[in-house]
Amino acid sequence: MRALLISIPLTILFASAPLADPLPSWTDTATKDRIIAFVEGITDPDSPDYVTPAARIATFDNDGTLWAEQPVYFQLLFAIDRLKEMAAADPGVLTSDVLRAAVEGDMETVAASGTEGLLEIVSTTHSGLTVDEFQAVVRSWLDTARHSGTGLAYDQMVYQPMLELLTYLRDEGFRTYIASGGGLHFIRVFSESAYNIPPEQVIGSIGNGSYSAGDGPPRVMKDPGLFFIDDKAGKPVAIEARIGRRPVIAVGNSDGDFQMLEWTTAGDGARLGILLHHTDSEREYAYGRESHIGQLARGLDEAASRGWLVIDMARDWERIWPSRE
Amino acid sequence: MRALLISIPLTILFASAPLADPLPSWTDTATKDRIIAFVEGITDPDSPDYVTPAARIATFDNDGTLWAEQPVYFQLLFAIDRLKEMAAADPGVLTSDVLRAAVEGDMETVAASGTEGLLEIVSTTHSGLTVDEFQAVVRSWLDTARHSGTGLAYDQMVYQPMLELLTYLRDEGFRTYIASGGGLHFIRVFSESAYNIPPEQVIGSIGNGSYSAGDGPPRVMKDPGLFFIDDKAGKPVAIEARIGRRPVIAVGNSDGDFQMLEWTTAGDGARLGILLHHTDSEREYAYGRESHIGQLARGLDEAASRGWLVIDMARDWERIWPSRE
């Protein structure tokens, strides 16, 4: 026995010693193993999958991927709260049925108004002020508003396993970007504090903007109307325009992320598409195929044939929120 | 004498020893001194002007600021060369007088067509192909085309003093961005090799784009029509949208950069606006107030009152091109 032990070179003993787990809130399943194996291949100069640090780009959807999105997109809740404040100061802002329904809490009418109604609510509440002023309003809302289900501040309803994945990727030389259908200026208010993602690495939908000077301090204004929707086929277009590189890893949770994953994983060399499937009605929410928000149908249908990794929240995550358990 | 020397502490002797000059191609004038003094204030933690590394953003115009722009914007020369190739393969692409004038070298008619005519030439030659295909065409053009005045490749007609300024700022913790009226996809072809500026730090004008898949590999297309012009009041809007921070330093050469400098220098704390005045008809070009390209009139009128630094090329630069002298 002693002779056998001595015959094992020390280097092998050290090489097989377990390193610190980079994803401690992930259950030890094949999902976690595949993520780590992928990152190790990308970063090993001797691997055929090696990618230079400059090309290590990872893009993450936000709503339902980095933070929760149920029962309603948090940005819409912000917009309605802001609309109520605006209407209290000047009821004249309520110029349509959908705006009146929103302040009365008649979410059925709001939902029935479709995308057009939602955009009217967003445009009304996200324009007519400077970017700085808007972001101060969002900051103040985040500091006081609480989620009806958990009682948590909205920017505390981020997924601990995703925070670990972001940190792990950055530690391995990746730059982590958000590519969200949500608002660029809205997300930037908390992206740095919640995710350690700086403003220049946030890609999102954006309204019209303009520059004003002469009649006051030089400033960038948020104007009515939508300039770009960063969703579905808009995501690859915006990522290309903003970064100029195809991501190596793309992470989403809904069919709004389908094209981002499709474009990413069609690139040369090793690429990884990841979908988060919300399967945990006890600790978070269970939804997907039939959901009115975050619908995931085509993604589930095609993930296997496309080689995309599907995270099963209930199975793969030991912990959901940073502040709990 | 000996006693005097001994009384000087060694630390002072070392502190006053000259460091390597970060801007060796700049003449020792007040212009160079002011740039270095500004950067030293920004980076000294004990200075009231100190700026944290994350906020150290510098934006540079491209045409006429980082590379030359006479006798005509280089991107327009590229567009005309490409239009000639397209017309040789299919004369049917020449659907208007301005397009026909462009391939016949009738620059008077092209100039008389104004912005609309120029945009028609650019749109025709910059659409109907993928971003990757377009950039391969630009790369091939840069490899073969030569400037009529200098015989240099266009991406060699970059200003050595500006390359030194970019490197100096990066060495001092700045991130250097291009904010150009020129095309985003065009500039990215040479921004990394010419300036060491990666694609994600290029801001420019951009045409419409779309995503295609299903009928071929997933790809981002360049479509006809203009999506955003990154010039004049568009520059602060685009910089805000792309970076989410106000620059600390903005550098331009024409009234198209006025709003970028105005917005930048209106920010809190120490900020620096720099204008390059082309005054050197012997080594480069002399133009400004009356120029059809790169007009600089309001900038010269207001620079002193706004505290902007004006570089006099003939006086302040010992050397122009990297490959000469």
Residue A25, pLDDT > 80, answer: yes
User: For residue A3, is pLDDT > 50?
Assistant: no
Would the pLDDT of A16 be above 60? no
Which residues in chain A are contacts of B233 at CB distance < 8 A?
Answer: 210-211
* Res. A9: pLDDT tops 90: no
pLDDT for the residue numbered B100:
97
Same domain, A39 and A81: no
Candidate from A199, A217, A219 with C-beta closest to B243: A199
The residue among B208, B186, B217 whose CA lies nearest residue B127 is B208
Please indicate whether residue A260 or residue A3 has the higher confidence score (pLDDT).
Answer: A260
Q: In chain B, which among 50-69 make CB contacts under 8 A with chain A? A: 54
Between CA A120 and CA A122 the distance in angstroms is: 5
Write down the H helix ranges in chain B: 2-7, 10-15, 30-43, 74-89, 97-103, 107-112, 114-125, 131-144, 160-171, 184-195, 234-243, 258-265, 298-306, 313-316
Chain A contact for B319 (CB, 8 A cutoff) = no
Q: Which of A188, A210, A243 lies nearest to residue B199, judging by beta carbons?
A: A243
Across B193-199, average pLDDT: 98
pLDDT at residue A19 greater than cutoff 90: no
B61 and B87 inside one domain: no
pLDDT tens per residue across span B40-76: 999 999 999 999 999 999 999 999 999 999 999 999 9
Q: Give the distance from residue A74's alpha carbon to the nearest chain B alpha carbon, in angstroms.
A: 21
Q: In this structure, what DSSP letter does residue A28 have?
A: S
Closest-approach residue (CA) in chain B for A232: B211
B14 within some domain: no
pLDDT of residue A12 exceeding 90, the answer is no
Query: CA–CA separation, A58 vs A169, rounded Å?
Result: 8
Q: How confident is the model at residue A18 (pLDDT cuts 50, 70, 90)?
A: low
Strand partners, A67: A63, A158
A132 touches chain B (CB under 8 A): no
**pLDDT at res. A324:** 53
CA distance A120 to chain B (A): 21
- Subunit contact B237:A220, Cβ cutoff 8 A: yes
Residues B309 and B176 in one domain: yes
Picking from A134, A111, A129, A132, the residue whose alpha carbon sits closest to that of residue A121 is A111
Please classify residue A198 by burial: count the beta carbons closer than 10 Å to its beta carbon, then call 0-12 exposed, 13-18 middle and 19+ buried: middle
Nearest-CA distance B269 → chain A (Å): 15
Contacts of A210 in chain B (CB under 8 A): 233, 237
Q: Do A220 and B240 touch (CB under 8 A)?
A: yes
Q: Please check whether residues A33 and A85 belong to one and the same domain.
A: no
Nearest chain B residue to A267 by CA: give it.
Answer: B218
Q: What is the pLDDT of residues A143-196, one digit of tens each?
A: 999 999 999 999 999 999 999 999 999 999 999 999 999 999 999 999 999 999
Of B200, B245, B263, the CB nearest to A218: B263
pLDDT in tens, A92-131: 999 999 999 999 999 899 989 988 999 999 999 999 999 9
* Domain termination residue (choose one: A91, A123, A144): A144
Identify the bridge partners of residue A202 per DSSP, sorted by sequence position. A178
pLDDT at position A50 is 98
Q: HSE (CB half, 13 Å, CA atoms) of A212?
A: 13
Interface residue A244 vs chain B (CB under 8 A): yes
Question: A-B interface: how many C-beta pairs under 8 angstroms?
Answer: 84
Instruction: Find, among A4, A138, A241, A311, the residue nearest to B230 by Cα.
Output: A241
Strands across the sheet containing B219-228: B129-130, B219-228, B202-212, B175-183, B57-60, B249-252, B272-277, B309-312
Q: Which residue of B has its CA nearest to A262?
A: B218
Residue B208: count of CB within 10 angstroms of its CB: 15
Q: Which residues contact A233 (CB under 8 A, 6 or more apart)?
A: A259, B210, B211
Assess whether A164 and A118 both reside in one domain: no
Residue B188 lies in a domain: yes
Q: Which residues of A touch B244 (CB under 8 A)?
A: 184, 188, 198-200, 202
Q: How confident is the model at residue B18 (pLDDT cuts 50, 70, 90)?
A: low
How many other CB atoms sit within 10 Å of the CB of residue A22? 17
Mutate to test the interface with A, among B174, B202, B240 (most CBs of A within 10 A): B240
Q: What is the DSSP letter of B39?
A: H
B188, B217, B244 ranked by CB distance to A199: nearest: B244
What does the pLDDT look like over B279-304, one tens digit per residue?
Answer: 999 999 999 999 989 999 999 999 99
- Contact residues, chain B, for A233 at CB < 8 Å: 210-211
Tokens of B154: 């266009």
Whether A242 sits inside 8 A of B200 (CB atoms) is yes
Is residue B133 one of the residues assigned to a domain? yes
CA distance A107 to chain B (A): 31
Question: What pLDDT is recorded for position B229?
Answer: 95
pLDDT the model gives residue A114: 87
- B83: three-class secondary structure by DSSP: helix
Q: Do B198 and A266 touch (CB under 8 A)?
A: no
Q: What is the pLDDT of residue B194?
A: 98
Question: Which of B211, B234, B259 comes nearest A259 by C-beta?
Answer: B211
Domain of B208, CATH number, reads 3.40.50.1000
List all residues 6 or more positions away from A261 whose beta carbon is below 8 Å from its beta carbon.
A250, A252, A273, A274, A275, A299, A306, A308
Residue B306, in any domain of the structure: yes
Diameter of chain A by CA atoms? 89
Cα–Cα dist B29/B75, whole Å: 33
The reply to whether A174 and A37 lie within a common domain is yes
Decide if B18 is inside a domain: no
Nearest to B256 by CA among B163, B180, B143: B180
Mean pLDDT of B237-241: 98
Judgement on whether residues A122 and A231 belong to the same structural domain of the protein: no
- For the cut 50, the answer to whether the pLDDT of residue A1 exceeds it is no
Confidence check: pLDDT of A42 > 70: yes
Range(s) of the domain holding residue B265: 23-71+154-316
Co-location of A96 and A66 in the same domain: no
* Inter-chain residue contact B244 with A220, CB threshold 8 Å: no
Banded model confidence at residue B4, pLDDT cuts 50, 70, 90: very low
B211 to chain A, any CB pair closer than 8 A? The answer is yes
Based on the fold, state whether residues B264 and B307 are members of the same structural domain.
yes
State whether residue B210 sits within 8 Å of chain A by CB.
yes
Is the pLDDT score of B6 beyond 50?
no
The pLDDT of residue A257: 98
Q: What angle do CA B242, B243, B247 make, to 5 degrees?
A: 130
Q: A45: cis peptide before it, omega within 30°?
A: no
Domain boundary at B144, B164, B187, which? B144
Looking at residue A202, its pLDDT comes to 98
**Does B215 contact chain A (CB < 8 Å)?**
no
Chain A residue numbers with beta carbons less than 8 Å from the beta carbon of B240 are 131, 209, 220
User: Domain for residue A13, yes or no?
Assistant: no
The pLDDT of residue B58 is 99
Are A241 and A121 part of one and the same domain?
Answer: no
Residue B31 lies in a domain: yes
Q: Judge: A218–B131 Cβ closer than 8 Å, yes or no.
A: no
Mean pLDDT of all residues belonging to chain A: 94
Instruction: Answer yes or no: are the C-beta atoms of A270 and A40 closer than 8 Å.
Output: no
Q: What is the count of structural domains for chain A? A: 2
- Would you call B3 an interface residue with chain A, using a CB distance cutoff of 8 Å? no
In a domain, A208, yes or no: yes
**pLDDT of amino acid B324:** 53
Strand pairing of B219-228 and B202-212?
Answer: antiparallel
Q: Is the pLDDT of residue B17 over 80?
A: no
| Domain C-terminal end among B114, B144, B174 | B144
Same structural domain, B238 and B275: yes
Q: How does DSSP assign A110-146, residue by residue?
A: HHHTHHHHHHHHHHHHS-SEEHHHHHHHHHHHHHH-B
Nearest chain B residue (CA) to A220: B237
What is the token pair recorded at B115? 């912005």
CB nearest B262 (choices: A218, A233, A243)? A218
C-alpha dist (Å) from residue B236 to A199, A223, B36, B257, B262? 15, 15, 25, 9, 9
* Closest chain A residue to B187, measured at CA: A244
User: Are residues A32 and A87 part of one domain?
Assistant: no
What's the gap in Å between the CA of B209 and the closest CA on chain A?
A: 6
Give me the residues of A, 273-312, that contact B with CB < 8 A.
none
Neighbours of B133 (CB within 10 A): 12
Q: Are B171 and B231 in contact (CB under 8 A)?
A: no
